Amino acid sequence: MSSRTDEELLVENTRRFNKVGTLPAAILSVCLCLVQITLAFILPELCDKKGKECVLNSFSILIYTHGGHWAGILAVDQFLHLAHHKSRLSGYLEFYTKTKNIRRAPFYLVSAGNFVLMLIVIILHDLCDDDQTCSHTFTKVDYLRGLITLESLVVICCNVSYIIILREFNKKQSPPDVLREDFVTSIHLGDHGDTIGVQQQDQVMEVMERQAELIRYLKDHSETLGKKILDLTNQLALKERA
């Protein structure tokens, strides 16, 4: 009876498909990258020419804007994390696993860019400020512009790939993986025993990853059910006392 009730509750909670509404956040991430690239090319023209001096030079402004860019990507990353965590709790384990790395990549790339940016600032300060050799090749802004452009283009590619996967997922409106018989069957290692070599190793790793996600889901689902049962028990106790 308890097992049947738990299954009925699971089906009831996951019967209606809820779209993962992270498309605006992904588009915002792309827009942030485009703005950063635009600033990298426009600011030197606005602030470094005679008669158009800004309060700060373009090199300093780009460093500050890159810090703001990192903060924006961080906010988007946290929003995506919460949305995908909610989707995983609804039973969409395969989608969570498929997008896990690509949705995290922009934040890690911009964080790495901050580290490289810091090194570039120190190196250029030590080598170019008191040395005229830099003025004959590239300026400090040129190096910074190249880094920002490369970083932003890679992040845009990651976001575009994520958007494609997201749109396909929302369009299919598939039932939760935990209710799909083919998914449950695919997590058994015995189904892949006929293959050998590297292909078998890759399949084993994929199955183990799915099993790990399923275990996490079942654990979280059990905790959610436990909290609901506790709340209902407390409510029933209060009614009996009244």
DSSP string, 188-223: -GGGGTT--HHHHHHHHHHHHHHHHHHHHHHHHHHH
Question: Which has the higher per-residue pLDDT, 58 or 221?
Answer: 58
**Closest residue by Cα to residue 183 from 209, 206, 210:** 210
Question: Which has the higher per-residue pLDDT, 48 or 198?
Answer: 48
Contact 89, 224 (CB under 8 A): yes
In this predicted structure, what is the pLDDT of residue 240?
A: 75
DSSP strands (E only) in 11-154: none
Question: Which has the higher per-residue pLDDT, 3 or 154?
Answer: 154
- 47-51, 144-148, 192-196: range with highest mean pLDDT: 144-148
Distances (CA, A) of 29 to 24, 79, 136: 9, 11, 36
Q: What one-character DSSP code corresponds to residue 193?
A: T
**Those residues with Cβ within 8 angstroms of residue 167's Cβ, 6 or more apart along the chain or in another chain:** 23
Is the predicted pLDDT of residue 127 greater than 80, yes or no? no
Residue 129, H or E segment: none
Assigned token pair, 154: 């890679």
What is the rounded CA–CA span in Å between residue 192 and residue 137? Answer: 58
Residue carrying the six token digits 């932003």: 152
For the chain, count helices (H), then strands (E). 7, 0
pLDDT digits (tens, 9 = 90+) for 81-107: 999 988 888 888 888 888 989 999 999
Q: Which of 16-20, 117-121, 168-172, 222-226 has the lowest mean pLDDT?
A: 222-226
**Those residues with Cβ within 8 angstroms of residue 135's Cβ, 6 or more apart along the chain or in another chain:** 128
In this predicted structure, what is the pLDDT of residue 103?
A: 92
In this prediction the pTM is: 0.74
Model confidence at 179, pLDDT cuts 50, 70, 90, reads confident
CA-atom Rg of the chain in angstroms: 26
Q: At what angle do helices 93-128 and 58-89 cross, to 10 degrees?
A: 170
Q: At what angle do helices 23-47 and 58-89 cross, to 10 degrees?
A: 180
Kindly state the percentage of the chain with pLDDT values over 90: 33
What is the rounded CA–CA span in Å between residue 26 and residue 202? Answer: 30
In this predicted structure, what is the pLDDT of residue 239?
A: 76
